[in-house]
C-alpha cells in the first residue's frame, strides 16, 4: 500500500510539473517576443545609417540643439545640395560645379561659436568631409565621376540633418539600388516624385523612398 501511495504521489507531482512547464514557455515567448520586437524596431531605426557606404561620418543619436541662426546657415547648405542634385538629374555638369562651389561657400559660412563638445565635433567632421568631396567633385572631369562624389556628399548631408535636426518641411531619403553597378546609392529630395540624379533621363524614375526626415 505504501509503495502504491508513493507511486500515486510521484505521478501527481510529475503531472503538475509537466503542466507548469507547458504553460511557462508561452510566457517566455511573450517576453522574448517583446524583446525581439523592440530590438527589431531599434535595428530598423538605425538600418539606413548602418547601410551608408562611408563609415567615417559622425551621426549623433540625439539631435544637437543649435541656434536659429545656425539652423538658417545649415539650411543654405541643404539648399545648395538640392541644387546640385537637380543639376545632376538634368545631366548639367556646369550647373553641378557652380552649385558645388556654392555649397562649399555656404559650409564656410556656418558659425560654430554656439557649438560645443559632441555638436562641434560632429560639425567639424561633416564640414571637413564636405570640403574634401566638394573640391574633388568640382575638379574631376566627367558626369559619372561627379555623380560618384555626389553619393558621398548625400550621405554626409543625411548625417547633418539627423545630427542637427534640420526642419524645413519634409526631406525624403531616396535609394537607387541600380546605381554604380548595382552597389546602390542614396540621395535627398524635397519632392516625393522620384528624379534620379545618378542616371538622369536614362533611368529617371529608378528609386524608392526609404525615410522621411
pLDDT of the residue at 186: 97
pLDDT of the residue at 146: 98
Within 13 Å and on the Cβ side, how many CA atoms surround 139? 6
pLDDT tens for 124-178 read 999 999 999 999 999 999 999 999 999 999 999 999 999 999 877 899 999 999 9
Stronger pLDDT, 15 or 27, i.e. the higher one: 15
Q: Which three cell numbers stand for residue 134?
A: 566638394
pLDDT of the residue at 50: 75
pLDDT of the residue at 148: 97
CB 209, CB 174: distance < 8 Å? yes
Is the model's pLDDT at 118 over the cut of 70?
yes
Is the model's pLDDT at 23 over the cut of 50?
no
Q: What is the DSSP string of 34-102?
A: HHHHHHHHHHHHHHHHHT-S-TT----SSPPP--HHHHHHHHHHHHHHHHHHHHHHTT-HHHHHHHHHH
CA separation (Å) from 17 to 21, 26, 169?
A: 6, 15, 60
- Strand, helix or coil at 131? helix
Percent of the chain with pLDDT over 90: 70
Stronger pLDDT, 77 or 48, i.e. the higher one: 77
Across the chain, what does the average pLDDT equal?
82
Read off the pTM. Answer: 0.77
The predicted model gives 30-52 an average pLDDT of: 43
CB 160, CB 126: distance < 8 Å? yes
For 167, the enclosing helix (H) or strand (E) is none
pLDDT of the residue at 205: 97
pLDDT of the residue at 47: 52
Is the model's pLDDT at 6 over the cut of 50?
no
pLDDT of the residue at 58: 94
d(CA 78, CA 135): 17
Amino acid at each position: 500500500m505504501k509503495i502504491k501511495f508513493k507511486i500515486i504521489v510521484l505521478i501527481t507531482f510529475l503531472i503538475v510539473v509537466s503542466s507548469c512547464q507547458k504553460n511557462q514557455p508561452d510566457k517566455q515567448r511573450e517576453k522574448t517576443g517583446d524583446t525581439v520586437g523592440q530590438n527589431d524596431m531599434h535595428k530598423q531605426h538605425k538600418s539606413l545609417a548602418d547601410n551608408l557606404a562611408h563609415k567615417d561620418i559622425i551621426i549623433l543619436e540625439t539631435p544637437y540643439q543649435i541656434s536659429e541662426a545656425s539652423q538658417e546657415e545649415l539650411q543654405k547648405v541643404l539648399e545648395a545640395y538640392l541644387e546640385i542634385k537637380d543639376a545632376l538629374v538634368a545631366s548639367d555638369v556646369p550647373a553641378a560645379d557652380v552649385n558645388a562651389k556654392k555649397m562649399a561657400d555656404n559650409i564656410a559660412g556656418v558659425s560654430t561659436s554656439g557649438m560645443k563638445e559632441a555638436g562641434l565635433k560632429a560639425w567639424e567632421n561633416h564640414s571637413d568631409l564636405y570640403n574634401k568631396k566638394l573640391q574633388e567633385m568640382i575638379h574631376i572631369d566627367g558626369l559619372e565621376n561627379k555623380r560618384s562624389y555626389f553619393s558621398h556628399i548625400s550621405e554626409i548631408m543625411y548625417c547633418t540633418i539627423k545630427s542637427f535636426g534640420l526642419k524645413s518641411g519634409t526631406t525624403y531619403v531616396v535609394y537607387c539600388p541600380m546605381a554604380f553597378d548595382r552597389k546602390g546609392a542614396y540621395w535627398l529630395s524635397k519632392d516625393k516624385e522620384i528624379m534620379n540624379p545618378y542616371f538622369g533621363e536614362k533611368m529617371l524614375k529608378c528609386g524608392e523612398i526609404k525615410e522621411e526626415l
